[in-house]
Amino acid sequence: MMNMKMMWSFGIILTLLLLHVDARFDFMSITRGTRCNSCLEASRKADKALKNKDMFNDVNVLSNQVCQSLPSDLQSKCLRKSSDQIEQSRVQMQEIFHEQNLCNKTGLCFDEVTDVIDNKNSSENTNCVNRADECSDCTYAIENFIYQLADPKVKNKVTDAALDYCDESEGNRKRCKQAVYRYGRIVLHKLEQVKAKDLCMVLNLCDVI
In Å, what is the CA distance from 164 to each residue of 12, 13, 29, 158, 209? Answer: 16, 16, 38, 10, 41
- pLDDT for 116 equals 46
Residue 37, domain extent = 2-202
Please give the average per-residue pLDDT across 81-96, as a whole number: 72
Cα–Cα–Cα angle for 33, 93, 22, rounded to 5 degrees: 45
Is residue 63 within 8 A of residue 82, CB to CB? The reply is: yes
Residue 100, domain member (yes or no): yes
Residue 208, domain member (yes or no): no
Is residue 67 within 8 A of residue 75, CB to CB? The reply is: yes
Number of domains in the chain: 1
Long-range (24+ apart) CB contacts under 8 A made by 158-166 are: 158/6, 158/9, 158/184, 158/188, 159/184, 161/9, 162/2, 162/5, 162/6, 162/9, 163/2, 165/2, 165/5, 166/2, 166/5
Please give the average per-residue pLDDT across 99-123, as a whole number: 58
d(Cα 44, Cα 178) in Å, to the nearest integer? 42
pLDDT of 2 > 70? The answer is no
Model confidence at 19, pLDDT cuts 50, 70, 90, reads: very low
| Helices 2-29 and 131-149, axial angle in degrees (round to 10) | 140
More confident residue, 110 or 64: 64
Please give the average per-residue pLDDT across 72-90, as a whole number: 75
Residue 167, domain member (yes or no): yes
Residue 184, domain member (yes or no): yes
Residue 207, domain member (yes or no): no
In Å, what is the CA distance from 133 to each residue of 14, 26, 88, 169, 207? Answer: 21, 10, 30, 43, 12
